[in-house]
Structure 1
Amino acid sequence: MVDAGGTAPRVGCYTLDGTLLSCATGAAGAAHHDDDAARGLTAGVAGIGRPGSNQGVGRDGAWAASFYPLDLLDCPRTFVNDAVVAHRGALLGQAGIVVVAGTGSMVLAIDKNGAEVESGQFQHYAGAARHVAFDVVHQVLAGRAEPADGELVTRILGHWGAADVDALRRALRQREDASPHDVKRAFGNVAPVVTELADTSPLADRALRRLAEITADGVLLLAPLLQRTPVPVSLAGSLALDPAFSTRLAVALDVPGATPVRVVPPALGPLAGAGFLALRRLGAPLGPEVVRRLGSSG
C-alpha cells in the first residue's frame, strides 16, 4: 500500500489480518515481493482529480499508475487520490468528510454509497501550509506587523537570511525564477513557525483563523450531501492536525443554520487507510483486531 502525498511518500506491506510486515519512507517508493505474498496494491496519490474540480487537472488512475511500474507485482491495483486513503483510514470506511492540509490540501466527502465529492467541484480551495506562510509574509511586507509579532518577524527574516523587511523583499524578488516546488517548500517550512507562535502573535493568529474559515466553508459546502447529522469530520496532514489550526477550525465550523458537523480524531493514518481500503476491496475480514493491527502501523 502507498501513501504518496506531497511531503514524504510511504510504502507499507500488510498481511491479510492487518499486520504491517514492512514500511519504508522516502522520496520515491518501490516494493518487490514473491508471488505468494502479493495480494493487492492500493496507492493514494496526490494529483488524481475529478471532473469539474479545480484540483488535479483531470489526472486519473492511469496517470498515477505510470509512476509505479511494478511489472512483477501480480495483483489487483487501485490508484486513488491521497485524500481518499486518508478518508477511509480516518473514518474506517464510513460516510463523512476529511480535511487534508499539509503540503497540499483537499476537503473530501464520501457518502454511504461510496460516492466522492470534493470542495473543488464547487470551485473551492482552502489552502495548505504554504498559504498560511504566504499570508503572514504578505502582512509583514505590507507593514501590518505589531510589536507582539516581533518574534514571528525575526524568525521569518532569519528563514530568508534577511536583516530587515526591505532585505526580505529583495530576497524574495531574487527568487522570482525559483521553481514552483521550491517556492512551496520554502514557504511551507515557515508554517510550523506560524502555528508555534499562534497564541502570542496576532498576525499568526489572524492567518490561521482566515485559513480555518476558508477550510470550514469547504466542509460546510459538502456536509448537506451526507444526509446525516452531525456529519463526522476528520483531519489529516501536518497542518490540519496541528492544534493551532484544528482548534480554530472547530470554532469556524460552528455556524448557526449550517448542517451540524463534529470533528473526530482519525482512527487510522493515511498509510494504514490504504491498507484498510486494499483489504476491504479484497474482501478480507476487517474486524476490530485487524483495525487494531493496522492502527499500530501508524
Structure 2
Amino acid sequence: MSRRRLDFVLAVDSGGTGTRVGCFALDGRLLASATGPGGAHQHDDTAAANLTGTVAAALDGLDPAGARAFAAGVSGIARAGSNQGGLTADEARAFYPLPDLACPTVFVNDAVVAHRGALAGRAGVVVVAGTGSMVLAIDVDGREVESGQFQHYAGGARHVVFDAVHRLLTGPADPADAGLRARVEDHFGGPDLRTRLLALAESGYNDVKRRYGDLAPAVTALAGSSPVADRALRSLADATATGVLLLAPLTGVDPVPVGCVGSLAEDPAFRVRLGDALAGSRAELVPTQLGALGGAAFTALQLAGVRVDPAVLDRLRTGMLGA
C-alpha cells in the first residue's frame, strides 16, 4: 500500500490503562490516530510492545520519513528534578524502540504532557489521576516540581477502591452501602470478600492493581448514594488537594489554575470533591484545554520548531475530538 508523504509530528500519551497516538500536520490538524493497551512499564508486562505497536498502527498509511518530531508522555518515565525514579530518557528510547523514525524524539513523564495539554502551556498545577497519579506544577519559568518531592502521594483509581473495600470489610454495615457491597462482591467473584481478595493477592502484582482499578468507575458512580464510596472518594480528593496546595505557591501566578487529566481526575464526582477541598484557597479548577495527547502534540510541534499559536491550538482541540 502506498503511503502519503506529508510533514507531521507524532504524539503519544501512554499510561497504565491505555495508549493513544496521534499524527498531526504542522498546522495542528489530526491526520491519523490509533489506540492500544497501556505502555507503562511498571503497570504492564507487555508495555513496550503495546506502545510501539500502537505507534505503528497510527503510522499506517503515512510515510515515516515525513515525521518531523516525536513526543511521548509515558507513565514511569523519570521527570527532570524528581526523586521518584523511573526510566531515564535514554532508557526509554531503548525500551520503546522506534526503528522507522529518524526525527528528534523526546520521552517525558505523562504528567508533563498532561500539564501542557490541560493548561495549554500556562503555568499552574495539574492533577493526573488514573491508573497512577501525580500532582505536578510548572512555574512561569518552566521549572517543574511534583508533590512527591514533598514526600506526598495522593493515589489513583485503585486507591479509591482499596479504601472503599477496606471500609466495607472493617466498618459497620449501612443499608445505604448495599448497592456498593453488591457491586464489589460481584466484581471480585462472591460474597466472601476476604477469601476472594487473598486469592487475588496470589496473582501477579500488575494483575492485582488492574483488577482493583477496574472497579473505580463503579465506586465513583455510587458516591452520591453510598456513604462508603463518598468517604473513599472524598479522602482521595482531600489528599490530592494537599498536593495541589503544596505546589501552588511555587508557580508564580495568582490565582493558580489547576487542571485535571486522567480517568479518575476527570470524573465529575471526583472533580466536585476536589473543588470542595480547594474551596477558599487561591487554587482554582479550570477546564482542560487539550488533554494529555494534545499536550504531547503541543510538545512535538515545539520540538519541530513550530510556533503553537491560537489557530494551531484550535486545530489541536478539534483533533482531540477524533483522536
Deviations 1:95-138 (A, max 9, x none): 01100011110000011111110001111000000000000101
Q: 2:66 — aligned with what? A: 37
Question: SS at the partner of 2:103?
Answer: coil
Q: 2:149 — aligned with what? A: 121
Q: 1:18 — aligned with what? A: 28
Shift of 1:206: 0.5
Count of residue pairs brought into register by the alignment: 291
Deviations 1:3-53 (A, max 9, x none): 111111111111100011100101222335535411000000111224774
| Aligned-partner residue type, residue 273 of structure 1 | G
| Aligned-partner residue type, residue 10 of structure 1 | R
- TM-score between the two structures when normalised by the length of structure 2: 0.86
| Aligned-partner residue type, residue 16 of structure 2 | G
Question: SS at the partner of 1:66?
Answer: helix
Q: 2:318 — aligned with what? A: 296
Between the aligned partners of 2:79 and 2:310, the Cα distance in structure 1 is 32
Q: 1:160 — aligned with what? A: 188
Q: 1:286 — aligned with what? A: 308
Shift of 1:292: 1.3
Change (3 A) 1:58 1:36: closer
| Aligned-partner residue type, residue 82 of structure 1 | D
* Pair 1:224-2:249 in alignment: yes
Question: SS at the partner of 2:290?
Answer: coil
| Aligned-partner residue type, residue 40 of structure 1 | A
Calculate the aligned-residue CA RMSD, in Å.
1.5
Question: SS at the partner of 2:295?
Answer: helix
Q: 2:235 — aligned with what? A: 210
Deviations 1:175-226 (A, max 9, x none): 2221111111111111111111111111111111100000000000000101
Between the aligned partners of 1:148 and 1:30, the Cα distance in structure 2 is 46
| Aligned-partner residue type, residue 22 of structure 1 | A
Percentage of pairs with the same residue: 57
Which of the numbers 68, 82, 94 marks the counterpart of 2:110?
82
| Aligned-partner residue type, residue 273 of structure 2 | R
Are 2:65 and 2:101, in contact at CA under 8 Å, matched by a contact in 1? no
Are 2:132 and 2:157, in contact at CA under 8 Å, matched by a contact in 1? yes
Alignment of 1:105-116 (within 5 A): 105-116=133-144
Between the aligned partners of 1:73 and 1:108, the Cα distance in structure 2 is 30
Alignment of 1:176-215 (within 5 A): 176-215=201-240
- TM-score between the two structures when normalised by the length of structure 1: 0.93
- Which 5+ residue runs of structure 2 have no aligned equivalent? 1-10, 38-49
